[in-house]
Amino acid sequence: MDYYLLNKFLCATHFTMKDIKNLNSIEFHKDLVAKIEFESAFHHIQVNKKVRSFLSVSFNQKYFLYKLMCFRVKQVPLA
């Protein structure tokens, strides 16, 4: 699934973090999502119920909805 159209409306703020210990020293805005690039770690990040409809797909008259983070959204780690 490619979320190219959705990504046009998302703002990604990038920062560098040497290790997990430095996470507390980084200032985040209210709604900013942090990403930690562990392979496939994003499958453990729950998606807020309010935005799940933006991460859904229809196939064979069935509606599929991501409950966990999916591929190809700007804020998701590249694995």
CB neighbour list of residue 44: distance below 8 Å, 6 or more residues apart: 68
- How high is the pLDDT of residue 46? 73
Q: How far is CA 21 from CA 8, 17, 38, 47, 59, in A?
A: 32, 9, 15, 24, 43
The answer to pTM > 0.75 is no
| Top-confidence range, 4-13, 20-29, 32-41, 56-65 | 56-65
Whether residue 37 is predicted with pLDDT greater than 70 in this model: the reply is no
**pLDDT value, residue 48:** 80
